[in-house]
Amino acid sequence: MQQRLRIGVLYSRVRVEEKWIFGAMEKRGIDYDRLDDRAIHFDLNNPKPWQQYDAVLERSLSYNSGLYALRLLNAFGVPTVNTAAVAEVCGDKLMTSAALARDDVPQPHNATAFTPEAALEAIEAFGYPVVLKPVVGSWGRLLAKVNDRDAAEAVLEHKSTLGSVQHSVFYIQEFIEKPGRDIRVIMIGDKVLTAMYRNSEHWITNTARGGSGELCPITPEIEDICLRASNAVSGGLLGVDLVEHPEKGLVVNEINHTMEFHTMQPLSGIDVAGEIVEYVVKIAKRKGE
């Protein structure tokens, strides 16, 4: 007789997405545990309590907590969604850009430097405006549109003086005159599940910053670039952000490995949480193969 699957859901807060995921687990009669990342601990000499899971779905708010938990779980032989390897690449914009560049996936022009002086030189080579982004972080926070040299010098000095050491990895991106929107696409494995435009008057179009959602038809171009992006970061459950570049066409701006879908699910009418749970079950069934 086949043993019943046991799933763990690692989370920090019960957002609406987690409520939907828990609901989808319960609807399917799945045996699952809620694992609060602020309460768990790992005994490295005793992986057994963790190895009881056939899969763990990672929904941590904290990139660090989520990433280290995934690394440990994968080291213990526990399948995770996503894998630590995917989180390592997607949680760091520079690593994402490097993976996309390696696989020739269209993306904005990016550069990086490790000192304010070298960053200023790179910015001047780009020409203004440019965008400075932290390599780790989300929800459109701490992005800076730099319009001239004075602003560049000020932002670079502030980042290197006031920020954590990670802010001294300067990630520089061309400023794209996008049509007041970007596109968020949800990928599950090699399937493009649904997509929406995120409209905003502001140059930051993130819905966490007030952007509004509108359903976006999945064109062959969207499907193609998203599949290539997903392959570049080793696939999984992903939120791919696309920008319509005036010269280059669709480009991949970033890829999220613990994506939110509170706007997408009601907008699309697709049970995203249910699809996520089905995918986790599929991964769980592969344990030990």
Partner 1 sequence: MSTVVCPECEAEVMLDAGTEAGEIIVCSDCGVDLEVMSVEPAAVQLAPMEQEDWGE
Q: List interacting residues with partner 1 (CB under 8 A).
A: 11-15, 18-19, 22, 34, 36, 61-64, 134, 136-139, 141, 164, 239, 256, 258-260
Nearer to partner 1, 9 or 120 (CB): 9
To the nearest whole angstrom, how small is the minimum distance from the Cβ of residue 196 to partner 1? 14
To the nearest whole angstrom, how small is the minimum distance from the Cβ of residue 285 to partner 1? 26
Nearer to partner 1, 10 or 120 (CB): 10
Which residues are CB-neighbours of 203 under 8 A, at least 6 positions away?
Answer: 145, 175, 178
Nearer to partner 1, 64 or 219 (CB): 64
To the nearest whole angstrom, how small is the minimum distance from the Cβ of residue 103 to partner 1? 23
Strands 191-199 and 181-188: antiparallel
Q: CB burial class (10 A; 0-12, 13-18, 19+) of residue 46?
A: exposed
To the nearest whole angstrom, how small is the minimum distance from the Cβ of residue 259 to partner 1? 5
Q: Give the single-character DSSP code of 167.
A: G
Which residues are CB-neighbours of 111 under 8 A, at least 6 positions away?
Answer: 122, 125, 126, 172
Nearer to partner 1, 22 or 170 (CB): 22
Distances (CA, A) of 64 to 14, 69, 80, 230: 18, 8, 16, 22
